[in-house]
Amino acid sequence: MQDPMRIGVIGGAGWLGGALAGSILRAGIARPEGLSLSYRRERPARFPDVHWTRDNQELVDRSDIVIVSVRPADWPALSVDVGGRLVISVMAGIRLEQLGECHRTKRVVRALPNAAAEVGKSYTPWIAAGGLDESDRAIVRRIFGACGVEDEFGRESDIDYLTGLTGSGPAFPALLAAAMMKDAVGRGLPMDVARRAVNTMLVGAGRLLELRDDCPNDIVNSFLDYRGTIAAAIEAMRASGLEKSISEGLSAAFRKSVSMGEAS
């Protein structure tokens, strides 16, 4: 398919849909006049030069590629005929077979980017139905490459697992940050100082991991070998069941992803 592409994002007013739209525009994958976004209630003020609509079928008719970014619970009520177009779902839990049957197309992709797509730092796992050719795959890689890093998988169960692991985006680091801030404030630090200290530490750690690309285990072991204050903290956290809690959380997210598809 030649540039510029005509892309529609059903649910473009949402956080993830808007993040994808922004990445598509920044990368020049679609021009503003070739990008259609749908909304449910009030038209957003952002992206003033794109085509906004409340009619999802109109959006489809204006597009060559359709990205579906709605809440999985709202998806069963979405009635659009894509006429064989390439459909990319970024909804948790909804299976390839369900998407193909509902939207009457064999060209279906199930993907799970996260909210870090807003800053071009998402990790996006995706899986394609049998109807995709290499030109379609190239389009998918280009779209999600504009959002960060992407990998194609061969099993839907991997996408279900990664829904919790990487689909969380900032949620798990934010959970850690909130716990650290709570402890800091409990020990007398002002809230703004605690927030600045914790956020800066996490941002810096993420940047170091990105640049050095070290195995996380190697980093942990280097602190343990030093036998200093951080080693004491790591050992206490592990003894309190940190790793078990993380495993149980990811298992719960996996089960939820599977059940969401079964319920739709």
For residue range 176-219, what is the model confidence (pLDDT) as tens digits? Answer: 999 999 999 999 999 999 999 999 999 999 999 889 888 999 99
- Average pLDDT of the segment spanning 245-249: 96
- Average pLDDT of the segment spanning 55-65: 97
Helix axes 156-165 and 242-263, enclosed angle (nearest 10) = 130
CA 85/CA 236 separation, integer angstroms: 54
- Average pLDDT of the segment spanning 87-104: 95
pLDDT score at 179 = 97
* Parts of the chain belonging to CATH 1.10.3730.10: 171-263
pLDDT score at 3 = 65
Reported pTM: 0.91
Q: Could you tell me the CA-to-CA distances from 241 to 61, 171, 175, 244, 245 in Å, in that order?
A: 52, 20, 16, 5, 6
Fold of 7-155: Rossmann fold (3.40.50)
Which residue matches tokens 């600045």?
A: 196
pLDDT at 1 over 60: no
Number of H helices, E strands in the chain: 10, 8
Share of the chain above pLDDT 90, in %: 91
CB 87 within 8 A of CB 105: yes
H helices present in 27-129, as ranges: 56-61, 96-103
CB 27 within 8 A of CB 147: no
Provide the strand spans (E) within 13-71: 35-38, 51-53, 65-68
- Average pLDDT of the segment spanning 81-87: 94
pLDDT at 156 over 90: yes
SS3 of 22, please?
Answer: helix
Write the pLDDT tens digit of every residue in 105-155: 999 999 999 999 999 999 999 999 998 999 999 999 999 999 999 999 999
CB 105 within 8 A of CB 84: yes
CA 50/CA 90 separation, integer angstroms: 21
Strand order in the sheet with 65-68: 51-53, 35-38, 7-10, 65-68, 86-89, 108-111, 122-128, 148-152
CA 23/CA 116 separation, integer angstroms: 11
pLDDT at 2 over 70: no
Residues whose CB falls within 8 Å of the CB of residue 241, separated by 6 or more in sequence, listed in order? none
- Average pLDDT of the segment spanning 87-92: 97
Q: Which two tokens stand for residue 33?
A: 């006049």
Question: What are residue 164's DSSP bridge partners?
Answer: none
CB 156 within 8 A of CB 110: yes
Share of the chain above pLDDT 70, in %: 98
* Parts of the chain belonging to CATH 3.40.50.720: 7-155
- Average pLDDT of the segment spanning 23-50: 95
Q: Which two tokens stand for residue 124?
A: 């996006």
Confidence band (pLDDT; 50, 70, 90) for 11? very high
Given this structure, which CATH class describes domain 171-263?
mainly alpha
CA 153/CA 128 separation, integer angstroms: 8
- Average pLDDT of the segment spanning 35-63: 95
Strands 108-111 and 122-128: antiparallel
> 4 preceded by cis ω (within 30°)?
yes
Write the pLDDT tens digit of every residue in 165-177: 999 999 999 999 9
